[in-house]
Structure formats: structure tokens, C-alpha cells
């Protein structure tokens, strides 16, 4: 907790799920002593989250903004436009991401392909570059936390594009960590299994029954379980980096092995 005090944390995709839970967890773990930059496309959701956090931590410093990570040209101007007290970012959590559809190769809508690649891969790479160059390299410190997935290790049928996007996140993250070994900048990969969030509603495009069935009988991870791990990894001693983590619910063994109570 002491190690978090005063830090500025930039979370993408903070309007729901893991990103939202991570914002809450950083505040709780630091007793309101961190500064949060929370971004997503749905500004109203961010406003509600900010209001809720400020109820608990009235002195809390929270900056919210609409930011679509797939709009690559908007990132650098966004960073430059941050209020001075939020400019000195210490931790970047690249969380914004999604699966769109579960179609077999041959039938995948090109907009779904673009949607996943633009957000999960191009957006993440671009934000990382901008923050690295403008902030972390200038002070030779900072944590980059990339949210990958078990889908970045086990490629499964009907997940080709999503899996490809998360394999890409993993490869990018590993190259970057190796490029930065002569710096104090840490690069961390978080790879969750099944987490109950809006993820499946987005993947199945509002088909509630299908989305629910993903989580039925598995005791999935909660978004706060992943948030807890993110906060843990970024509050280790500065001489250590928790480089790579796979986090499952205890009912899961791989992308293919899930125990369901029926
Ligand atoms: P949610 O759908 O609950 O949250 C996704 C977040 O990303 C939302 O805040 C959404 O906000 C934001 N987002 C989506 N597209 C964009 C965009 N183009 N620009 C900015 N923000 C965007 O899903 P999760 O919390 O589950 O997902 C978070 C991350 O975790 C993703 O990278 C996902 O791939 C990964 N993950 C999820 C797992 C799961 O089982 N749930 C397992 C493993 C990894 P808005 O719509 O307001 O923009
Ligand atoms: C989400 C987990 O297994 O649906 O990253 O791909 S999975």
C-alpha cells in the first residue's frame, strides 16, 4: 500500500468489468492515495464510477475521459491534454479489449476482425508506445500492465481472431520486457481465464442466454480477483517484476478444461 501512495494510474476500459474493478482496488489498496485516470468510450459509466469512488474517498483524485483506444491518432493529444497533476503516469493498465463473435474461419465478419485487432492489438501497442516515450522513458521508471488471456496461450476453435489478438499481446509484451531490461520500467502480463464481466454480452452481441451460459456452474473469477492480482504485481519491490501470470478460477485448467456443476 505504501508503495502505491501518490502514484498516478492510467486504466483503459475502466467503465466495466476488470478495468472498473481495478480502479476500485487501487483506491482501496491505497486508502484513496492514488490518482486515477479512467478512460473508456462510455463516459456516463465512468462518471458513475467516479461519483461512487468519491463517496468513499472524498479527497480522491480521479480524472475521467472518453477515449476509444482504436482511434490511434487521439492518444498522443489525449496525453498532452491531461491536467498537470495527472501527467506523470506511474502505472499503465492496458485493459480495454474484447471478443466479437465466435465464428469459424470463413464466416468471420470483417468488422469483427477489425474491431478485435484495432482495440486489443493496435490500440494497446499505440498507447504503450505513447506512454513509454513521453513519460516512462523520460524518468526511467513506470509499470506497463497488459491484459492478455488464457486465449493468448491456448488457441481454440471459434476463437481464431480473439486468440490471435491475445497471442499478439503476449508476444508484444515479451519483446518489450526484453527491450527494457536495462531500465527500471517493468512490463507485466496478466492472463486471466474465465471472468464474469460484460465480456460475453459483448462477444455474443447482447444474447443474454448465451452470455450467461458461459459462466453457469463454473464459479468464474470475479473482476475483483483479477484486479487484486494487478494491484499485487504493481506493488512489489522495485527490484522485482512479476513478469507473467495465469489466473484461473479453481474450476478451470486450460482454455479447454472447465469443470461445470450441473
Ligand atoms: P468488459 O466487456 O466487462 O469490459 C471491457 C472494457 O473495455 C469496457 O470498459 C469497455 O468500455 C472497454 N472497451 C472496449 N472497447 C474499447 C475501445 N475501443 N476503447 C476503449 N475502451 C474500450 O470485459 P472484461 O472486463 O472482461 O475485459 C477486460 C479485458 O480482459 C479485455 O482485454 C479482455 O480481453 C480481457 N479478458 C477477459 C476475460 C474474461 O473472461 N472476461 C478473460 C481474459 C481476458 P466501453 O464499452 O465503455 O468503451
Ligand atoms: C477470455 C477468456 O477463454 O473466453 O479471454 O477466451 S476465453
Q: Is residue 55 part of a domain?
A: yes
Question: Is the pLDDT score of 262 beyond 90?
Answer: no
The predicted structure's pLDDT at residue 2: 82
- Residue 222 belongs to domain spanning: 2-247
Annotation says 162 is catalytic: yes
Q: Is residue 176 part of a domain?
A: yes
CATH number at residue 196: 3.40.50.720
Q: Is residue 214 part of a domain?
A: yes
Q: Is residue 113 part of a domain?
A: yes
Q: Is residue 47 part of a domain?
A: yes
- Counting the structural domains of the chain, the total is 1
Length of the chain, in residues: 262
pLDDT tens-digit readout, 119-136 = 999 999 999 999 999 999
Q: How far is the CA of 119 from the centre of ligand 1 (A)?
A: 9
pLDDT tens-digit readout, 84-101 = 999 999 999 999 999 999
* Catalytic-role residue among 162, 212, 215, 237: 162
Q: CB within 6 Å of ligand 2 — which residues?
A: 149-151, 159, 162, 194, 255
Identify the nearest ligand to the CA of 159 by its number: 2
Name the phi and psi angles at 76, rounded to 5. Answer: -65, -50
The predicted structure's pLDDT at residue 108: 98
* Catalytic-role residue among 7, 35, 166, 204: 166
Task: Determine the Cα–Cα distance for residues 176 and 20; give it in Å rounded to an integer.
Answer: 26
Question: Is the pLDDT score of 77 beyond 70?
Answer: yes
How many percent of the chain have pLDDT more than 90? 98
Q: Is residue 71 part of a domain?
A: yes
Q: How far is the CA of 181 from the centre of ligand 2 (A)?
A: 30
Q: Is residue 41 part of a domain?
A: yes
Mean pLDDT, the chain, whole residue set = 97
Mean pLDDT of 169-186: 98
The predicted structure's pLDDT at residue 1: 64
Q: Is residue 182 part of a domain?
A: yes
Amino acid at each position: 500500500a505504501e508503495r502505491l501512495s501518490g502514484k498516478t494510474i492510467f486504466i483503459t476500459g475502466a467503465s466495466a468489468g476488470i478495468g472498473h474493478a481495478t480502479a476500485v482496488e487501487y483506491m482501496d489498496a491505497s486508502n484513496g492515495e492514488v490518482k486515477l485516470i479512467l478512460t473508456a468510450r462510455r463516459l456516463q459509466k465512468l462518471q458513475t464510477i467516479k461519483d461512487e469512488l468519491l463517496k468513499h474517498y472524498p479527497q480522491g483524485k480521479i480524472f475521467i475521459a472518453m477515449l476509444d483506444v482504436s482511434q490511434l491518432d487521439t492518444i498522443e493529444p489525449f496525453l498532452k491534454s491531461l491536467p498537470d497533476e495527472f501527467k506523470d503516469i506511474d502505472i499503465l493498465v492496458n485493459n480495454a479489449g474484447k471478443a466479437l463473435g465466435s465464428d469459424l474461419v470463413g464466416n468471420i465478419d470483417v468488422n469483427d476482425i477489425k474491431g478485435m485487432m484495432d482495440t486489443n492489438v493496435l490500440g494497446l501497442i499505440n498507447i504503450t508506445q505513447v506512454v513509454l516515450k513521453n513519460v516512462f522513458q523520460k524518468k526511467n521508471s513506470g509499470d506497463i500492465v497488459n491484459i492478455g488471456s488464457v486465449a493468448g496461450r491456448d488457441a481454440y476453435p471459434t476463437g481464431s481472431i480473439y486468440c490471435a489478438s491475445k497471442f499478439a499481446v503476449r508476444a508484444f509484451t515479451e519483446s518489450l520486457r526484453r527491450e527494457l531490461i536495462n531500465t527500471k520500467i517493468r512490463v507485466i502480463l496478466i492472463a486471466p481465464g474465465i471472468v464474469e464481466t460484460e465480456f460475453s454480452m459483448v462477444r455474443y452481441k447482447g444474447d443474454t442466454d448465451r452470455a450467461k451460459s458461459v459462466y453457469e456452474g463454473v464459479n468464474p473469477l470475479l473482476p475483483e480477483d483479477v484486479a487484486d492480482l494487478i494491484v499485487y504485481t504493481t506493488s512489489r519491490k522495485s527490484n522485482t517484476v512479476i513478469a507473467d501470470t495465469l489466473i484461473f478460477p479453481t474450476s478451470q485448467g486450460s482454455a479447454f478444461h472447465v469443470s461445470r456443476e450441473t
